[in-house]
Structure 1
Amino acid sequence: MSNQITVQSSTIPPYFNPAKVGEVWRVPYQERAAEAEAWAKEHNVPPAAFDQKRICLLLIDVQNTFCIPGFELFVGGQSGNGAVDDNRRICEFIYRNLNTITKIIPTLDTHTTMQIFHPIFWVNHLGEHPTPSATSISLADVEKRIWKVNPDVANSLTGGNYELLEKHAYHYVKQLSQDGKYPLIIWPYHSMLGGIGHALVASVEEAIFFHCIARQSQTQFEIKGDNPFTENYSILRPEVLVSFDNNPLAHKNHQLIQQLLEYDTVIIGGQAKSHCVAWTIDDLLTEIKQVDAALAQKVYLLEDCTSPVVVPGVVDYTQQANEAFTRFQAAGMHIVKSTELIENWLI
């Protein structure tokens, strides 16, 4: 592996302002498009269609809701500024490796109000909703009726069939327990479809758009998390696939799985290291092992472009995140820094 390099200003378009990465603003698309085309000519950036090695950058949930201080689920990590620092490095990584990255695939966590992990879905005997971030709902909680499904959401979710909704909720938390998943966590309303929190971080969106124009490679957005009956940390599959009646509840993202398996190199970063990033990598590793375990060696994890969920005084998933990455490395995946050029990894 190469020595780390210092970011040179000549490799990054002059408009990029690292001080704005933690802010929300409008990307000036037309202006950036003209600059990207001029940049491609000046720096001999070839169209991605001519790449001999096809390299995919998979960016997990680089959205305002997780990445902007003060938003619903800001991933501060242990430093308290984790996602902002991660995204600055992601932007620099994209610009510095513009000639090498074939395709960028950003995932978008996408939610509406009435979903199984939001407060409105559950009530206690007083009709109170669970406190988000501080509440997890176990199988025992449901069996003892400490938390029960809010009957008022049945009209919107199951056409008023409350019994059906209760059966599903019980099956869901039971399945999570049996599969060794995280317990059902009640999250604050976040990544709300149509809201500002759902949007990509502006600085990262700008870098992705610049790549799209300069390399003439369509950005591929992947939606996850819009099923009201299951969590969906991983972009490759929801937490629970089958309903209580053995009918499909949701489906794996078979098209994306196959696509990732076919790339020569897959690079992964984003938020959060302990949840959506770790779950995505874990699911990708599962699929890889079913085909050829050696394929894990083509996966590179940007260690300095992802942070764990840490809520001071409430939860700290740093250890779980680090243990997951250690396991991924043991399976053959590479743990790398964004400050290293892609070409040097592959030598």
Structure 2
Amino acid sequence: MSTQTTKQLPIPPHFDAKKVGEVWRVLYEERSHDAQAWAKKHNIAPAAKDKTRICLMVIDAQNTFCIPKFELFVGGRSGTGAVDDNVRLCEFIYRNLGLITTIYPTMDTHTAMQIFHSLFWVNDAGEHPAPMTIISLDEVQKGVWKVNPAIAHSVAGGNYLGLMRHASHYVDKLSDGGKYPLIIWPYHAMLGGIGHALVSSVEEALFFHAIARNSQTGFEIKGGNPLTENYSVLRPEVLEGADGRPIAQKNARFIQKLLEFDAVIIAGQAKSHCVAWTIDDLLTEIVAQDPNLAKKVYLLEDCTSPVVVPGVIDFTDPADAAFKRFADAGMHIVKSTQPIETWADITL
């Protein structure tokens, strides 16, 4: 008989929904003692004993995307999207503490000299493109935007011509692959910076889960390659350089790890970008292996929001269309407030 806790649990008293939109220090020692006491009080067994193994993948729940006034806050149409999403996400984790076997947070991770950052590009006047500039293949071919020669030493060992060839090839591959065009993003999720860190309330919930369930949090880092973007944690946007040699590879290890679970729950930011492309890549792998595996994937639709810049761009409709496509393929769209035992195709 399974010792897995199937009932929903109360929210621990330390959780404060009003603080989810703020940055603060997690009190690890206190939380560790609290989590152990909580597990004992509610008879929460170690995750290793789970009969039904459930994974929660939390995509890029970092300050840079989830805290108002940070670089790429995902407000959605409501203007408070990511904050509201993370309140629900934390509550979902706490309520289902005895059911979630392992949590995998992905972390967008960048440095200054990357192909989607301003410093990488320059025009004849010596100006760098402003954030949110779209760089087209035509502009690269005509020399409107060129690779900044000053970065060649740091990025390509001084091979400026090779870097230029790669830049042209890269923008061409994006257009061929039906991906988003090359967008110059504001500097964000900078390695070592406060924007790179997980949202404090989410970090606390993940730590609490790790202690209560004796289950190591599985951090997945993405986005550090200077020569390609990495919306998806499962594979970069472009895999090879202009010479056909690989510059990156898909995350086969993590893909296989996910598909070994009985259920994979996905939440995070942003629904229109990193979430959508990660699910899309996962679906591609599923279709290649066994389309029926799509039934083990559950999308927490109330714990993710699309990119919306009022008066500029609104990715809500494309994001919703992507989720409909995922559902049509067999994935389940669920809400965090629905008890997991009521979800279709899951047996506890």
In the superposition, the TM-score normalised over structure 1's length comes to 0.96
Counterpart of 1:229 in structure 2 is: 227
Equivalent AA in structure 2 for residue 69 of structure 1: P
Counterpart of 2:121 in structure 1 is: 122
Instruction: Determine which of 270, 278, 282 is the counterpart of 1:280.
Output: 278
| Consecutive unaligned residues in structure 2, runs of 5 or more | 1-7
In the superposition, the TM-score normalised over structure 2's length comes to 0.96
* 2-structure distance, mates of 1:159, 1:101: 45
**Worse-superposed segment, 65-74 or 315-324:** 315-324
Superimposed CA distance per residue, residues 70-118 of structure 1 (whole angstroms, 9 cap, x where no aligned partner): 0000000000000000000000000000000000000000000000000
Matched position secondary structure for 1:229: coil
Counterpart of 1:5 in structure 2 is: none
Superimposed CA distance per residue, residues 21-72 of structure 1 (whole angstroms, 9 cap, x where no aligned partner): 0000000000000000000000000100000010000000000000000000
* 2-structure distance, mates of 1:340, 1:36: 24
- Identity among equivalent positions (%) equals 70
* 2-structure distance, mates of 1:157, 1:147: 18
* 2-structure distance, mates of 1:221, 1:87: 18
* 1-structure distance, mates of 2:120, 2:312: 22
1:154-193 residue pairs with structure 2 within 5 A? Answer: 154-193=152-191
Instruction: Determine which of 187, 211, 220 is the counterpart of 2:209.
Output: 211
Matched position secondary structure for 2:302: helix
1:1-347 residue pairs with structure 2 within 5 A? Answer: 11-133=10-132, 135-345=133-343, 346=346
Q: CA shift at 1:141, angstroms?
A: 1.3
Equivalent AA in structure 1 for residue 43 of structure 2: N
Superimposed CA distance per residue, residues 154-201 of structure 1 (whole angstroms, 9 cap, x where no aligned partner): 111112211011011011000111111100010000000000000000
* 2-structure distance, mates of 1:289, 1:139: 31
Q: CA shift at 1:123, angstroms?
A: 1.1
* 1-structure distance, mates of 2:87, 2:279: 22
Matched position secondary structure for 1:104: strand
- How many residues end up aligned between the 2 structures? 338
* 2-structure distance, mates of 1:321, 1:144: 33
Counterpart of 2:3 in structure 1 is: none
Equivalent AA in structure 2 for residue 207 of structure 1: A
* 1-structure distance, mates of 2:10, 2:338: 13
Superimposed CA distance per residue, residues 289-326 of structure 1 (whole angstroms, 9 cap, x where no aligned partner): 01100100110000000000111122111111011001
Counterpart of 2:4 in structure 1 is: none
| Consecutive unaligned residues in structure 1, runs of 5 or more | 1-7
Equivalent AA in structure 2 for residue 273 of structure 1: K
* 2-structure distance, mates of 1:159, 1:226: 17
Equivalent AA in structure 1 for residue 22 of structure 2: E
Counterpart of 1:4 in structure 2 is: none
Equivalent AA in structure 1 for residue 58 of structure 2: L
Matched position secondary structure for 2:105: strand
* 2-structure distance, mates of 1:151, 1:138: 19
Matched position secondary structure for 2:248: coil
Equivalent AA in structure 1 for residue 194 of structure 2: I
